[in-house]
Structure 1
Amino acid sequence: MAIFNTDKALDMSCTERELRRWVHMIAELFPMTSEQAGHADFEVQGGTARIAWKEMPDRVIALVRLKRMEVTLAFSDGVPADARAHFSKQFQMHTLRGGG
């Protein structure tokens, strides 16, 4: 059984449906090895990357309510730092939203 070390914890304003769509986009770059109710595992150089999520209370700003998810990126032992950084960067690039 792989031991996962959390590399990044993110507070994201999104629904679980949106997050799952992003997870499947990442699967086009890194083969998905499993998908469960609260996480998905991917094959990366030297081991496994895991994206895990759980719902958080909505963020409320005046009359606006934003759904929130706590998302963690974790890696099994043996995944080198450069592979962790590449996976993290790809995930964050796929989840960026425009603004300005």
Structure 2
Amino acid sequence: MQSSYADRFERDMGCTEDEWLRWLPAAVGEGRPWRVEGASALVEIAPGSLQLRWQVMPPRVIALMRMPVLRVGFVFEGLDAVQRFAFMKRFDLYMQRGGG
């Protein structure tokens, strides 16, 4: 997890679009208003919002391993650094994948 989050950033997620859409409801939080339209979602985070846009990228290939890549853009509006951090702390915890 990062110590701060800009109001706009991109990251590559190691998941398919189907996995992303399954994980998204829990990551944004139960009862938080949000909606998906195509390859984007708008999440209401009082007093502002988060616009998510994603694009399926070619898989990452390392030797015989192929890992899906989903490039996700985050655009926060109307939220200060503390509010962005609080939201992303939960979001990142829910999007973590096990390993080891």
Q: State TM-score, norm by structure 2.
A: 0.81
| Structure 2: unaligned runs, 5 residues or longer | 1-5
- 1: CA distance between counterparts of 2:12 and 2:33? 23
- Runs (5+) with no aligned partner, structure 1: none
Aligned-pair identity in percent equals 34
- State the shift of 1:70 in Å: 0.4
- What is the aligned-residue RMSD (CA, Å)? 1.8
**8 Å CA contact retained: 1:30, 1:44:** no
- Report if aligned partners of 2:10, 2:73 keep a CA contact under 8 Å in 1: yes
5 Å-filtered alignment, 1:1-100, equals 6-29=7-30, 31-76=32-77, 78-100=78-100
Structure 1 residue 32: Cα displacement: 3.0
Structure-2 separation of matches of 1:58 and 1:18: 15
